[in-house]
Structure 1
């Protein structure tokens, strides 16, 4: 079983596929990484040193930036990463209802109403 997953070659974080222990050595592609702290299954860890304000790359795209230095093998989480999104965007839900072009006949109920009004 693989220890971790690197989704895209340009990613600087990996995803633990099992719980990783402090001091454990794992291989990620051509790299060998020593885990610096416990990493829970499904959590991110640094594949290389990520300096403060550097983008954290997952899926080949920035998912945030480091708020402090993150060393190779350290847990990458909300305490050391902040989103790149800024400000508040206005949004309002305005659905447009249209006819169902797949419905050829009006809907009917093949049954009867009871005396109490239930079907």
Structure 2
């Protein structure tokens, strides 16, 4: 059976990528919107590229974690292709070869919160 979340980004045109990115972004940021956070140790962060900045997203260690990691990876591959094609002027702050640190998760008002270290 084919994985419905799988997407071979290199086979997509830039037009297809530009159509997919907003839908996938919304899906990622809303993935855990109904999940509560009572133990920050059950959460960790990953980053996604968003325009010329990075955003951290919280991922639960056990709840549908492979699914969301796959979505994040595909989205980021699309963003890399978009940046390589369109070459936006991001002021040098966003370099794909750079390693970004995600700070440990916190629970705030019952929701997981993660951020990118600067």
In the superposition, the TM-score normalised over structure 2's length comes to 0.20
Scaled by the length of structure 1, the TM-score of the pair is 0.20
Richer in helix (by share): 2
